[in-house]
Structure 1
Amino acid sequence: MTVAESAPAVPVVAPGSAPERVTGYADLFAQDRSQPHWAFDYAARLARRHPVDHRILIQTSMSPSGAFHIGNLRDTICAHLVHRALTAMGRRSGILLSFDDYDPFRPGQAASDPALSDFVGRPLAAARERATAICRAYIRELKQLGICPADADPDGRTPPGSTWDTHYQWERYTSETYRDLQRDMVKGRSKLAKLLGVSRPDRLFSVYCEQCGRNDTEILHLRPNRVRYRCHACTAILTTTRVGPVKPSWALDWTLRVAHEHIDCEPAGQDHCSAGSTMDRTRPLYQRHLRIHQPVIVPYGLVREPGQRRKISGSGGGGLVAADLLAVMPVTMILWLYSRQNCLSDIRVTMRRDWFLAAHAEYDRFREQATRGGRALSLHRLISDDPPAGPLPGMRRVMGLLHSYCYDVDRVVELLSKTTKDESSIRERVGHAMAWIGAHGRSTSWLFADAPDDLPLFHGDDLAGRWDRQRHQRLHASLFGVRSGPPLRVLLDLFGEESLLTAVADHRATGRRPLRELLLARLDGGAGEG
């Protein structure tokens, strides 16, 4: 039996063959575990719901309140995996990335960055350079991951007909793209308030002041074509006939965008899918006001650091971003990290050495399993267009060789290529190991061992003769300022006797350690290349 024959078949679902059950809040978390992967379950739901000629649109959205971190990344990867599953099933689909830069700056963000204090209450897009830098960095990362098309411009915009599109909500609101739907919601606000369980209909909307730009406003009169409001920030009382400054609450904002863009599916973190959350409370709006389906929701767990209960936060700062992962692991491994578990489960990610080595060991086992077919192969086909490849040297071995051979990447690649012929993959793995050591694992380097203050330095003018432990320690102290390191034979192989003796003499004369400086530069370069 070939690998292809042993893989689970891609599910084929005829529209209307199995009507969806709607059981309320609990239905958000129901899954068909018989599918080869959870992404195929959500793809099958979408295939049942829509005709075969319908282009299924999946939205991934997030607010640039801070650098997009690896928790935000899960939202986009979930959308990507469902899109890949639909493609495997022969269905047309696309992804819409929506940057919610019309959301307001919150006081907590200014507390962590005083430079933002003037922007509190204004749209995130008001800090134009900051918002652009955050969004463009994410687009670059998504291109590296193979999720955003390479031909997209720096802002993620693509030509018509692409499977990818990027929207900026500040642009869409200020250009009044949603004008008709906004006015319809203002007109029907009493009904919408009842459906959402809100006591005062006007609280479903806020207004950005046209004089100072802040949303610290009080609506005095609200009509579909005219809004009068008082701004508590600048004390102005203004009337506007423009609907762009009238920002619906998140529940209405989401539903009007679904209706306007014809969004069919959207991932959402479990904290947004709890009882009483937007995904739960808006069902009546779709059923009884818009008269359309609520999108198929893909609930996903949070991304946390091991031992931490709180989720990673961009506005709080300090969380890992996609670039941190791209520096130390291949694209396929990153996609595997996010797809190996059920989407409902939390993911724990850190750059600690134990986690890093364990993750690579498990990924290597997955690659080997994928060559034998089964669910592993189904998952591999979701995250890569390439067939499963042969084994690679383990990350623990690669890191050990880098430490032993003074972080000489070319030499380690040469050594490993003697037993594994895929030199490009070996070089990639060695580069990732070097990036981890340089950025996250410097304390694991023998270069940072305790300094041998009690040891005399090496004073010989040649390296001949008997070498005992003490003589080795003196040499390492002179060359690198440490008690122990790579054996003399390796140092001679890498640098040659003349370079070693010159470095010893340089230290005697000036106190410098040129070879230590060289190795530190290699560590810095490894981190920088990542």
Structure 2
Amino acid sequence: MAEVAGPVDWVSRFADEVIAAAEPGRPVVCASGLSPSGPIHLGNLREVMTPHLVADEIRRRGHEVVHLISWDDYDRFRKVPAGIPPEWAEHIGKPLTAVPAPPGSRFPNWAEHFKAAMIDSLAEMGVEYRGISQTEMYTCGAYRDQVLLAMRERARIDEILDRYRTKGRPAKGPKQSQKLDEAEAAAAAAAEEGSGAADEDDGTATTGYFPYKPYCGECGKDLTTVTAYDDQSTAMAYECTLDGFTETVLLSEFNRGKLVWKVDWPMRWAYEGVLFEPSGVDHSSPGSSFVVGGQIVSEVFGGRQPIGPMYAFVGISGMAKMSSSRGAVPTPADALGIMEPALLRWLYARRRPNQSFKIAFDAEIQRMYDEWDALAAKIAAGTAAPADEAAHDRAVRTAGTTLPVTPVPIAYRTLASIVDITTGDDEQTLRILHDLDPQRPVTALAEVRPRLDKAQVWVNTQMDADARTQVRTEPDKELLASLEEDQRESLRLLAAGLTGNWSLSGLTTLLYGVPKTMAGLPADTKPTNELKVAQRAFFVLIYRLLIGKETGPRLPTLLLAVGADRLRTLIGQ
């Protein structure tokens, strides 16, 4: 099949590289891994969006491709997050699918509870994928041959890992039992150090190296140590360091455990034939999972390391680097509450994976939307750069679907101001929207949805309470009585100009023009520093008369919201 030449951007370059590495006649496999150990946040979303965008580009070119998302729901429960009752600590060390869901959840376990929100968000964003539950894969014996192979080759794996170990192995010596509180404290301390897989132990123990970790048959936790293994019979003995439980099982029949992370990941690359999978900074440093895995997959499992760019962290305006192990952080569902899916896709598509960026939940979201609208205007005019146009195209559609867009994209900051002023009243909102542009009046709120709804959520959930706008119900008689004559004249000029300028652009011209008239300057005078000072003083006066503050939403929008009659009353005209 002939290749379809695409714009030169990071997605296309990776797609070229992956297609060149693909075997003819076999689907191209891109992969992501997500641990539902807690809320799956916007940093984790980069783990999905990077391969999604590459897979979608490959699909657009006519190749068969699958994007796998491995739900790491067989990982251990590491710590009790904020807001969860402390008694959940008794489940630390169990698989996530064996931990009860948070109180009040409708889902059967912890993992399913946190997977659900991400599944809904990915559907809203148009992400096509095939999900794999690692609990199901391990407990049904799908990886049995790979587990047995890893145990047979444990000495080779140990040697590979030893090339990168920076700390000495635990001293050989007699096993020491641990009390319950000591074991739980150790588990909690380990959880504090990182968010999961990057900090997992690599299988080293005082009893030797074993790349497999069983879950205890008594307590169900992974606080176990393999004490012996026979390659011929596959008999494996282990002891639980928490409750002292011991058991000998045939690993060829045993399904209650998993490979340690640094072996599990490369095993999956080989098992699934993964060609592309990115990894975060914590997995990409020397000696980390991705680097070591590249040698394990080739030397042990007979596969190859996927093309795997390192992706940088995603931040939130005003917040430090996100980590799911440290408090509440915004999730894709939170972002989709205040922004359209295409915009959220664009934020990931326009930056190379190794570039960090921030997602705005504060007032910066208005500037972000301004950039988005400006790009759309450039594309419509045919002046956008090819890479920018490609990022926009990847945001608004996929190979299989087109995402919903707002038919009339009124500026987000304008919509937020209107919602703030009207407190979301539909009738008042429509009146103001209708008057914004008399040449193209909005006649139904459906024309500005879903953007209007996103702005409403932002105002209700993210806007500071002290920044909300309350229009006066009665004139400020004391302030009006104290005005100088030139201030009264400026208000008379404003009132006189309302009739012919009742639109967003007309009011903007009027508001900036009154101080020019007061100074005896023609309307087309370019602003000087002196004129800017006069304009600012005029704006402050109007804000004080209308809302009792010196700043507020954009003044032309505020005047439209107040209405001409009420405006004349409040400014004493």
TM over 0.5, shorter chain: yes
Q: Does 1:314 align with 2:324?
A: yes
Distance 1:137 1:307, change over 3 A: closer
Q: CA deviation at 1:288?
A: 2.3
Match of 1:63 in 2: 35
Distance 1:425 1:75, change over 3 A: farther
Match of 2:223 in 1: 216
Distance 1:370 1:218, change over 3 A: same
Q: Secondary structure at the match of 1:79?
A: helix
Q: Is the Cα contact below 8 Å between 2:31 and 2:277 reproduced in 1? A: yes
Work out which of the residue numbers 117, 124, 130 in structure 1 matches 2:96: 124
Distance 1:194 1:109, change over 3 A: farther
Q: CA deviation at 1:413?
A: 4.0
Work out which of the residue numbers 350, 355, 362 in structure 2 matches 1:340: 350
Deviations 1:228-282 (A, max 9, x none): 0111222111111144234211111111112222222112112211222111112
Q: Does 1:363 align with 2:372?
A: yes
Distance 1:53 1:316, change over 3 A: same
Q: Secondary structure at the match of 2:228?
A: strand
Instruction: Name whichever of 205-214 and 398-407 sits farther off.
Output: 398-407
Work out which of the residue numbers 44, 47, 51 in structure 1 matches 2:23: 51
Q: Is the Cα contact below 8 Å between 2:213 and 2:226 reproduced in 1? A: yes
Distance 1:489 1:375, change over 3 A: closer
Deviations 1:416-471 (A, max 9, x none): 3563578645232222111100011142554579xx9xxxx97xxxxxxxx56449
Match of 1:304 in 2: 315
Q: CA deviation at 1:316?
A: 2.2
Root-mean-square deviation (CA, aligned residues, Å) is: 3.3
In structure 2, what is the Cα distance between the partners aligned to 1:489 and 1:287? Answer: 66
Match of 1:253 in 2: 264
Work out which of the residue numbers 247, 256, 259 in structure 2 matches 1:238: 247
Instruction: Name whichever of 334-343 and 243-252 sits farther off.
Output: 243-252
In structure 2, what is the Cα distance between the partners aligned to 1:336 and 1:376? Answer: 10
In structure 2, what is the Cα distance between the partners aligned to 1:43 and 1:212? Answer: 46
- Which aligned pairs between 1:502-521 and structure 2 lie closer than 5 A? none
Distance 1:324 1:488, change over 3 A: closer
- Which aligned pairs between 1:32-431 and structure 2 lie closer than 5 A? 36-107=8-79, 109=81, 113-127=85-99, 128-148=108-128, 164-197=129-162, 200=204, 202-224=209-231, 225-241=234-250, 242-306=253-317, 308-309=319-320, 311-353=321-363, 355-371=364-380, 372=382, 373=384, 374-385=386-397, 386=402, 392-417=409-434, 419=437, 420=440, 424-431=446-453
Instruction: Name whichever of 69-78 and 415-424 sits farther off.
Output: 415-424
In structure 2, what is the Cα distance between the partners aligned to 1:96 and 1:302? Answer: 22
Q: CA deviation at 1:72?
A: 1.1
Distance 1:437 1:107, change over 3 A: closer
In our comparison, the structure showing a higher alpha carbon Rg is 2
Q: Is the Cα contact below 8 Å between 2:236 and 2:248 reproduced in 1? A: yes
Q: Secondary structure at the match of 2:90?
A: helix
In structure 2, what is the Cα distance between the partners aligned to 1:72 and 1:97? Answer: 12
Distance 1:324 1:239, change over 3 A: same
Distance 1:488 1:269, change over 3 A: closer
In structure 2, what is the Cα distance between the partners aligned to 1:258 and 1:410? Answer: 56
**Residue identity in the other structure for 2:387:** R
Work out which of the residue numbers 449, 454, 458 in structure 2 matches 1:436: 458
Q: CA deviation at 1:194?
A: 1.1
Distance 1:363 1:113, change over 3 A: farther
In structure 2, what is the Cα distance between the partners aligned to 1:37 and 1:115? Answer: 50
Instruction: Name whichever of 53-62 and 193-202 sits farther off.
Output: 193-202
In structure 2, what is the Cα distance between the partners aligned to 1:416 and 1:275? Answer: 56
Q: CA deviation at 1:36?
A: 2.0
Q: Is the Cα contact below 8 Å between 1:403 and 1:445 reproduced in 2? A: no
Q: Is the Cα contact below 8 Å between 1:110 and 1:116 reproduced in 2? A: no
TM-score (norm 2): 0.67
Distance 1:125 1:390, change over 3 A: closer
Q: Is the Cα contact below 8 Å between 1:141 and 1:323 reproduced in 2? A: yes
Q: Is the Cα contact below 8 Å between 2:29 and 2:275 reproduced in 1? A: yes
Distance 1:332 1:56, change over 3 A: same
**Residue identity in the other structure for 2:456:** M
In structure 2, what is the Cα distance between the partners aligned to 1:110 and 1:185? Answer: 37
Q: Percent of pairs identical after alignment? A: 23
In structure 2, what is the Cα distance between the partners aligned to 1:144 and 1:330? Answer: 10
- Which aligned pairs between 1:484-499 and structure 2 lie closer than 5 A? 490=562
Q: Is the Cα contact below 8 Å between 2:11 and 2:54 reproduced in 1? A: yes
In structure 2, what is the Cα distance between the partners aligned to 1:46 and 1:489? Answer: 54
Q: CA deviation at 1:292?
A: 2.1
Q: Is the Cα contact below 8 Å between 2:265 and 2:293 reproduced in 1? A: no
**Residue identity in the other structure for 1:136:** A
Q: CA deviation at 1:126?
A: 0.8
Distance 1:109 1:490, change over 3 A: closer
Distance 1:61 1:397, change over 3 A: same
- Which aligned pairs between 1:458-497 and structure 2 lie closer than 5 A? 469-470=477-478, 490=562
Q: Secondary structure at the match of 2:450?
A: helix
**Residue identity in the other structure for 1:259:** A
Instruction: Name whichever of 394-403 and 234-243 sits farther off.
Output: 394-403
Q: Structure 1: which 5+ residue stretches go unaligned?
A: 1-8, 13-34, 149-163, 459-466, 474-481, 498-530
Q: CA deviation at 1:329?
A: 0.9
In structure 2, what is the Cα distance between the partners aligned to 1:489 and 1:191? Answer: 73
Q: Is the Cα contact below 8 Å between 1:64 and 1:99 reproduced in 2? A: yes
TM-score (norm 1): 0.73
Q: CA deviation at 1:57?
A: 1.3
Q: CA deviation at 1:409?
A: 3.7
Q: Structure 2: which 5+ residue stretches go unaligned?
A: 100-107, 170-203, 482-546, 553-557
Q: CA deviation at 1:60?
A: 1.1
Q: CA deviation at 1:227?
A: 0.9
Q: CA deviation at 1:350?
A: 3.6
Q: Is the Cα contact below 8 Å between 2:223 and 2:241 reproduced in 1? A: yes
Q: Is the Cα contact below 8 Å between 1:263 and 1:295 reproduced in 2? A: yes
